[in-house]
């Protein structure tokens, strides 16, 4: 079963958006609660797949990458329903329906939220939000990347939760990149102001426009930097921008954008950092040609299935 097949099953019955009752969410989670720990291991296997250490490892990792899609969605539901210390966000007596919106590789989708805020989802992203926001808060959960353009509302704070941090805002525009299988997650502020609540140390970090917050999930290292916010949102118009990016960050982005599998058969590029922009909808071959020029010694080939092998 491919990632696309799994997405079709997950998206049934029909339509881009589907309401999910609280009872259904809790029941679905209960059925696989014992397997949630597989998510982290599946993410690690997916990265090892790209290393292509052996045919056996590649096969096992591809299967794990399929499992992570379904399990990540279920874990998202549970995280969305509870606060970090286990306190429920919504009272049990309050009926609440949720909508799940997701994208597949190569797809970008704009979602209109209940308060008229907009969220533009990048490829392979999942956004979960209530069918109607409560009177006191507007909470959504993201696994993946999205640009949020939030309607101002003094009475109801807007909160974006990811697996690593929360973004607190009233009205503004910002980009969030928080894929479950990426080592580094980040947010960039385009306009207005936001604060980022780090889940590890529970510290709050305030950003102004053209500033970024990034977290290395392995080391726990946090970086606050000045950036060009336009670069962070370039993907919404079909471009790709890499700023001091690792080879794995580039591989992940190209895979998501072009719906292609890329296998890395060496670790000799692990310390290299690349800065590059692709503004004209370049194909995966054109991007690989550019990388080969930027990284001396890099060679790649594309097989008959369109898979890319780097050595």
pLDDT value for 60? 37
pLDDT tens readout for residues 130-154: 999 998 999 999 999 999 999 999 8
| CATH annotation of 238-310 | 3.55.50.30
pLDDT value for 270? 86
Of residues 215, 210, 178, 185, the one with CA closest to residue 200: 215
Per-residue pLDDT of the chain (311 residues; tens, 9 = 90+): 444 544 444 444 434 444 555 554 444 444 444 333 343 444 444 444 444 433 333 333 333 333 334 444 444 444 444 444 333 444 444 567 899 999 999 999 999 999 999 999 999 999 999 999 998 999 999 999 999 999 999 899 999 999 899 999 978 999 999 998 888 999 999 999 999 998 888 899 999 999 999 999 989 999 999 999 999 999 999 999 998 899 999 999 999 999 999 999 888 888 899 999 999 889 999 999 999 999 988 999 999 999 999 98
pLDDT value for 94? 54
Give the integer Cα–Cα distance in Å for 301 and 306: 9
Check if CATH label 2.60.120.1440 holds for domain 3-232: yes
pTM of the model: 0.72
What stretches of 205-246 show up as alpha helix (H) in DSSP?
Answer: 229-232
Distant-in-sequence, close-in-space partners of 76: CB < 8 Å, separation ≥ 6? 126, 128, 141, 143
Cβ–Cβ < 8 Å for 171, 151 = yes
pLDDT value for 289? 94
Exposure string for 102-119, b = 16+ CB within 10 A, e = fewer:
bbbbebbbebebeeebeb
pLDDT value for 44? 44
pLDDT tens readout for residues 79-112: 444 444 333 444 444 567 899 999 999 999 999 9
The DSSP letter of residue 88 is B
Question: Are the folds of 3-232 and 238-310 the same?
Answer: no
Of residues 65, 14, 10, the one with CA closest to residue 39: 65
pLDDT value for 95? 61
Q: What is the residue extent of each domain of the chain?
A: 3-232, 238-310
């Amino acid at each position: 079963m491919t990632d696309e097949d799994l997405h079709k099953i997950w998206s049934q019955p029909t339509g881009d958006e589907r309401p999910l009752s609280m009872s259904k969410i809790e029941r679905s989670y209960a059925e696989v609660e014992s397997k949630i720990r597989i998510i982290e291991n599946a993410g690690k296997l997916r990265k090892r797949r790209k290393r292509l250490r052996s045919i056996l490892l590649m096969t096992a990792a591809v299967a794990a990458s399929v499992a992570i899609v379904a399990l990540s969605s279920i874990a998202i539901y549970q995280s969305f329903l509870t606060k970090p210390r286990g306190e429920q966000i919504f009272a049990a007596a309050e009926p609440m329906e949720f909508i799940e919106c997701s994208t597949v590789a190569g797809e970008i989708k704009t979602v209109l939220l209940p308060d008229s805020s907009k969220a533009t989802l990048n490829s392979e992203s999942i956004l979960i939000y209530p069918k109607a926001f409560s009177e006191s808060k507007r909470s959504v959960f993201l696994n993946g990347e999205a640009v949020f353009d939030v309607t101002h509302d003094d009475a109801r704070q807007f909160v974006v939760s990811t697996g690593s941090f929360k973004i607190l805002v009233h009205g503004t525009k910002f980009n969030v990149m928080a894929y479950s299988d990426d080592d580094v997650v980040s947010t960039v502020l385009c306009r207005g102001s936001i604060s980022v609540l780090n889940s590890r140390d529970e510290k709050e970090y305030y950003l102004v426009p053209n500033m970024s917050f990034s977290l290395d999930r392995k080391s726990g290292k946090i970086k606050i930097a000045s950036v060009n916010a336009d670069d962070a949102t370039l993907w919404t118009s079909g471009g790709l921008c890499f700023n001091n990016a690792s080879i794995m960050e580039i591989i992940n982005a190209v895979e998501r954008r072009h719906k292609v599998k890329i296998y890395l058969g060496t670790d000799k590029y692990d310390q290299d950092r690349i800065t590059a922009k692709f503004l004209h909808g370049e194909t995966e071959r054109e991007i690989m040609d550019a990388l080969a020029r930027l990284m001396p010694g890099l060679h790649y080939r594309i097989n008959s299935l369109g898979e890319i092998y780097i050595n």
